[in-house]
Amino acid sequence: MGKKKDFENRLERVINLYDNLDEIINTLPLEMPDGARDTVKKMIFSNDEINEVITGLKERRPPRILLIGRTGVGKSSLINALFGKYHAKTSPIEIGTQKLERYNYESNGEVVFEVIDTRGIGESKTDNATSAEEDLKHAVEDFDPDAILFLSDATQRARMDEDVNYIKEIYDDIGMEIPLVTVLTHVDNVEPSRIKEPDQYNRSKLRNIESKKSDMEKLLSDMNVKNSIVIPVSAYIEWDREDPHLLSPEEQKQLIIEFDGRYNIEELIDFLQKNMDFRAAIHLLMNTRLELAVRKISNSMIKGFGLASATVALTPIPFSDIAILVPMQLILVIMIGYLSGSNVDKESAKEFLVSLGRVGAAGFGLRVLAQQGSKALNLVAPGAGSAVSSSVAFAGTFAIGKAAQAYFIEQVNEEDLPEIMKKAHEEGEALQSQ
């Protein structure tokens, strides 16, 4: 089974777990006071963050990207560089009267990217500039891009002013809601241009790249283009056949990287995944950096369950907070287990939770677990003194989630868990005080 297929199966399991949460909660291997199971359900189902993650997983979809840049600046190359694979383009559909094309990138019959590509810069002014901008504006409204990538060639200083001028006009029109990235392309050609291996860039090359970046930043800020970060990249790849764009999609699929000159593409992916819609970000990562997709989902899940735990502490309930928190933590552990693809079930997740208590790491829940061992999970003792503060509840669940992530996903050794929990607990406390 392919890595991606395997990952899709794991996501299905997580989604299924959520969709059948009722049943799961009713059969958790815990003794719980009457009515506690309903409270657990309510706490999880009413949490916005958890909802958002699950909805994001269910509705994951290809990112929609607006690419702006001159002919030859490297728009098509950048997309292939993002994937590290040559993806065939569907036939472009022309939009409006100007050079505006819409197409998809596909892999194994599946759409991985939807793109609108505009070669507007410097080429539209002569004929009919107003209608070019109008076309673009309408296209953006219809297309609703997740991000705008504005490409400028790092080695063509003379053009940068013009490029920035153009982007400003567009940006003023389109508005500032959409993440804008100014991508400086062709940085492998920055002096000393003989150095092409990205891991061999020397200090003078790195300094020159840095200075191109500051030039661009200054131009943008002089033009009052706010909120655009500048990311210098090289999308340079030599494939095992020449003129890959002339090959058939069948042949393109077979292309192999002969020389990989890509530089800083990871930073671009990272910015995009952090700043675009969750549904699109998951899809992007599934096709580019699968491990990061897993971590992003589990991090969001941990945060969601942490916040739900904090809510428990703030809500008056007729039994001990712990009677609600421990089952929630157990469900979080099961979810992370499913996400990791390991063979966890309710029982083994419970054992994991108990063992966390046994290692005696600091933090809520754990202290309780440490004191009482597995008996702590026989949650029948309601009463006074059992309430916890919301920050303690958040940090405790957060730490347990991080420990599960480390153990199931990153496969760290059990001996390292106490230290990981301690750090996570501190991190959880710091997050709460923000």
One symbol per residue from 63 to 82: x for binding Mg ion (CB under 5 A), - otherwise; what is it? Answer: ------------xx------
Q: How many CB atoms lie within 10 A of CB 146?
A: 23
Does 35 sit near ligand GTP (CB under 6 A)? no
Integer Cα distance of 81 and 212 in angstroms? 21
Does 320 sit near Mg ion (CB under 5 A)? no
Q: In the set 104, 234, 252, 273, which binds ligand GTP (CB under 6 A)?
A: 234
Task: Return the closest-CA partner of residue 187 out of 223, 156, 159, 214.
Answer: 156
In the 3-class helix/strand/coil scheme, how is 43-104 assigned residue by residue? HHHCCHHHHHHHHHHHCCCCCEEEEECCCCCCHHHHHHHHHCCCCEECCCEECCCCCEEEEE
- Cβ atoms 398, 307 nearer than 8 A: no
| DSSP 8-state class, residue 27 | T
Q: In the complex with Mg ion, which residue's Cβ is closer, 63 or 244?
A: 244
Which region among 69-77, 209-217, 250-258, 307-315 touches ligand GTP (by CB under 6 A)? 69-77
Residues 6+ apart with CB under 8 A from 422: 361, 362, 363, 399
Integer Cα distance of 390 and 396 in angstroms? 10
Which region among 48-56, 74-82, 287-295, 413-421 touches ligand GTP (by CB under 6 A)? 74-82
What's the closest the beta carbon of residue 195 comes to ligand GTP, in angstroms?
12
Q: In the set 9, 16, 26, 71, which binds ligand GTP (CB under 6 A)?
A: 71
Q: In the complex with ligand GTP, which residue's Cβ is closer, 77 or 273?
A: 77
- Mode of pairing for the β-strands spanning 88-89 and 100-107: antiparallel
- Cβ atoms 116, 66 nearer than 8 A: yes
What's the closest the beta carbon of residue 75 comes to Mg ion, in angstroms?
5
Q: In the set 10, 119, 303, 402, which binds ligand GTP (CB under 6 A)?
A: 119
- Cβ atoms 134, 100 nearer than 8 A: no
Question: 3-state DSSP call for residue 339?
Answer: helix
- Mode of pairing for the β-strands spanning 100-107 and 93-94: antiparallel
Task: Return the closest-CA partner of residue 329 out of 375, 395, 416.
Answer: 395
Q: In the complex with ligand GTP, which residue's Cβ is closer, 252 or 432?
A: 252
Which region among 103-111, 171-179, 229-237, 317-325 touches ligand GTP (by CB under 6 A)? 229-237
Q: In the set 10, 37, 64, 75, which binds ligand GTP (CB under 6 A)?
A: 75
Which region among 134-142, 184-192, 346-354, 391-399 touches ligand GTP (by CB under 6 A)? 184-192
Does 89 sit near ligand GTP (CB under 6 A)? no
Q: In the set 72, 249, 318, 373, which binds ligand GTP (CB under 6 A)?
A: 72
Integer Cα distance of 213 and 230 in angstroms? 6
- Cβ atoms 401, 332 nearer than 8 A: yes
Give the one entry of ligand GTP, Mg ion, none that residue 71 binds, where binding means its C-beta sits below a cut-off of 5 to 8 angstroms depending on kind: ligand GTP
Q: State which residue has the least CB distance to Mg ion.
A: 76
Does 244 sit near ligand GTP (CB under 6 A)? no
Give the one entry of Mg ion, ligand GTP, none that residue 287 binds, where binding means its C-beta sits below a cut-off of 5 to 8 angstroms depending on kind: none
Give the one entry of Mg ion, ligand GTP, none that residue 74 binds, where binding means its C-beta sits below a cut-off of 5 to 8 angstroms depending on kind: ligand GTP
Q: In the set 236, 398, 407, 408, which binds ligand GTP (CB under 6 A)?
A: 236
Please compute, for residue 416, the number of CA atoms within 13 A of its CA located in the half-sphere on the CB side.
12
Residue-level length of the chain: 434
Size of the site for Mg ion (CB under 5 A): 2
Does 74 sit near ligand GTP (CB under 6 A)? yes
Q: In the complex with ligand GTP, which residue's Cβ is closer, 212 or 296?
A: 212
Does 309 sit near ligand GTP (CB under 6 A)? no
Task: Return the closest-CA partner of residue 77 out of 226, 188, 164.
Answer: 188
Task: Return the closest-CA partner of residue 133 out of 118, 145, 147.
Answer: 118
Does 275 sit near ligand GTP (CB under 6 A)? no
Q: In the complex with Mg ion, which residue's Cβ is closer, 75 or 296?
A: 75
Integer Cα distance of 418 and 192 in angstroms? 49
| Residues making contact with ligand GTP (CB under 6 A) | 69, 71-77, 119, 185-186, 188-189, 234-236
| Residues making contact with Mg ion (CB under 5 A) | 75-76
